[in-house]
């Protein structure tokens, strides 16, 4: 499989598939495809037990119960995806030894060797105040998963014990080797008047961490245009 990330502020990913290769994506993320790429909506998981469990996990994570698979029937085909969000797309390599954890709504598409599942916050503080909730998306197996980031994307390669503190809601994802927690922002005065909220998310290495420069709630607030009334009203 080959891919190319297109655009600057409103990106899309173009995936080139060889015969019998396939990727899967959230419903509605496809922009266009060549006619030799076939679409099929499926439940994820192996066997009916695995498929029902996959359905349950996706519903818990707030995602659609089904995903759409795109398979190249013959020759070489192309399919393009976008998350419909102004921002960046990142291709994240997944290995058996290094699963990847992402915030809800980050998932765009993935190669068929990547399994979508969920994981739960182990610490109550991170679940309540971390901005991501108790449920996160987990991608494991071997392949590539493409994730969305609102605004621009900042990437870190954290050494063992190295920490970064991030505004809650701006964490896109991180390797499973990274520890995620929350900490109170400075003193009471800083917490109340500093403009950063009461808590910061703390990521501790080793591993990769991906940060977005805004989040969906901030983006909604920025794009909100107040209603105006005409002079005749």
Q: What is the mean pLDDT of the chain?
A: 81
Q: Are 164 and 156 in contact (CB under 8 A)?
A: yes
- The residue range of the domain holding 32 is 2-223
Name the percent of the chain lying above pLDDT 70. Answer: 71
Whether 209 has a pLDDT exceeding 90, the answer reads yes
Q: Can you tell me the distance from the alpha carbon of 153 to that of 171, in angstroms, rounded to the nearest whole number?
A: 10
1-31, pLDDT tens digit by residue?
A: 899 999 988 899 999 999 999 999 988 899 9
Name the percent of the chain lying above pLDDT 90. Answer: 52
136-167, pLDDT tens digit by residue?
A: 889 999 999 999 999 999 999 999 999 999 98
pLDDT of residue 173: 95
pLDDT of residue 186: 59
Whether 197 has a pLDDT exceeding 80, the answer reads no
pLDDT of residue 164: 94
The answer to whether position 61 is within a domain reads: yes
H or E segment at 166? strand 163-167
The answer to whether position 233 is within a domain reads: no
Whether 59 has a pLDDT exceeding 70, the answer reads no
Number of domains into which the chain is organized? 1
Q: Are 144 and 94 in contact (CB under 8 A)?
A: yes
Whether 61 has a pLDDT exceeding 60, the answer reads no
Q: What share of the chain is helix, strand, coil (3-state, %, to 5)?
A: 15, 50, 35
Q: What global pTM score does this model have?
A: 0.80
73-114, pLDDT tens digit by residue?
A: 999 999 999 987 789 999 999 999 999 999 888 899 999 999
- From 122, 135, 219, select the one nearest 170 (Cα to Cα): 219
The answer to whether position 229 is within a domain reads: no
Cα Rg of the chain, angstroms: 19
Residue 48's φ and ψ, nearest 5 degrees, are -65, -35
Whether 198 has a pLDDT exceeding 50, the answer reads yes
Largest CA distance in the chain: 67
Q: Are 147 and 11 in contact (CB under 8 A)?
A: no
If one compares 46 and 144, the residue with the highest pLDDT of the two is: 144
- From 18, 20, 153, 181, select the one nearest 92 (Cα to Cα): 153
pLDDT of residue 131: 46
215: domain CATH number is 3.60.160.10
The secondary structure of residue 159, as a DSSP letter, is P
pLDDT of residue 226: 55
The secondary structure of residue 228, as a DSSP letter, is -
pLDDT of residue 214: 86
Collapsing DSSP to helix, strand or coil, 186 comes out as coil
Whether 63 has a pLDDT exceeding 80, the answer reads no
The answer to whether position 62 is within a domain reads: yes
pLDDT of residue 135: 77
């Amino acid at each position: 499989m080959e891919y190319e990330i297109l655009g600057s502020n409103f990106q899309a990913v173009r995936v080139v598939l060889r015969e019998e290769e396939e990727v899967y994506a959230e419903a509605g993320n496809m922009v266009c495809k060549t006619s030799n790429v076939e679409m099929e909506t499926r439940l994820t998981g192996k066997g009916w037990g695995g498929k029902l469990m996959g359905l349950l996990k996706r519903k818990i994570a707030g995602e659609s119960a089904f995903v759409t698979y795109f398979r190249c029937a013959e020759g070489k085909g192309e399919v393009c995806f976008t998350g419909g969000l102004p921002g960046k797309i990142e291709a994240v390599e997944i290995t058996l030894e290094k699963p990847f954890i992402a915030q809800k709504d980050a998932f765009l598409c993935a190669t068929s060797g990547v399994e979508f599942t969920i994981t739960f916050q182990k610490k109550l503080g991170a679940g309540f105040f971390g901005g991501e909730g108790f449920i996160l998306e987990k991608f494991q197996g071997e392949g590539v998963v493409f994730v969305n980031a609102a605004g621009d994307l900042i990437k870190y390669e954290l050494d063992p014990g190295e920490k970064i503190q991030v505004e809650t809601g701006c964490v896109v994802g991180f390797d499973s080797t990274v520890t995620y927690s929350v900490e109170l922002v400075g003193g009471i005065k800083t917490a109340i008047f500093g403009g950063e909220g009461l808590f910061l998310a703390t990521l501790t290495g080793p591993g990769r961490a991906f940060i977005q420069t805004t989040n969906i709630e901030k983006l909604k607030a920025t794009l909100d245009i107040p209603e105006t009334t005409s002079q005749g009203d």
